[in-house]
Amino acid sequence: MSDGARENGDRGNLKTDEAALSARLQRLGEGLARQRADETSNGSGRGRATTASGYAKGFRLSSELVAGVAVGAGLGWLADRWLGIAPWGLIIFLLLGFAAGVLNVMRSAGVVPERQSPESRKR
């Protein structure tokens, strides 16, 4: 007899838990729908453009660094082949390429000002 009462009590709790869970799920869905509606009405396109612009700038900066290192490594490898000074040419030019890449990244990011020609300095 007590086993039957316990099972009925558990079923009642289970139904109550399912109802509470269902209500929470419905409130969550409504909240998400409101948030999506707010984003579309507040210019979500502008946010996407800003994000895309950030990705573009990040890609540009990373490619500046990688290009500097790659060109330095290539010139170092060629110097090693032609002059027979392996591995010193590669090491030196790789470090110079890294320094040039970092300088280009800093210039692109606006941290370091662009180099001016002597004619523009006179003005």
85-120 pLDDT, tens per residue? 989 999 999 999 999 999 999 998 888 887 777 776
Q: Do residues 88 and 105 lie in contact, with contact meaning Cβ atoms separated by under 8 Å?
A: no
DSSP secondary structure of 63-82:
HHHHHHHHHHHHHHHHHHHH
What pTM does this model have? 0.55
Handedness of CA 116, 119, 122, 123 (dihedral sign): negative
pLDDT of residue 44: 55
Write down the domain spans for the chain: 1-42, 55-123
- Residue 88: φ, ψ to 5°: -65, -35
Half-sphere exposure (CA, 13 Å, Cβ side) for 73?
Answer: 8
pLDDT of residue 73: 96
Compute the distance between CA of residue 68 and CA of residue 56 in angstroms, rounded to an integer.
18
Compute the distance between CA of residue 11 and CA of residue 56 in angstroms, rounded to an integer.
57
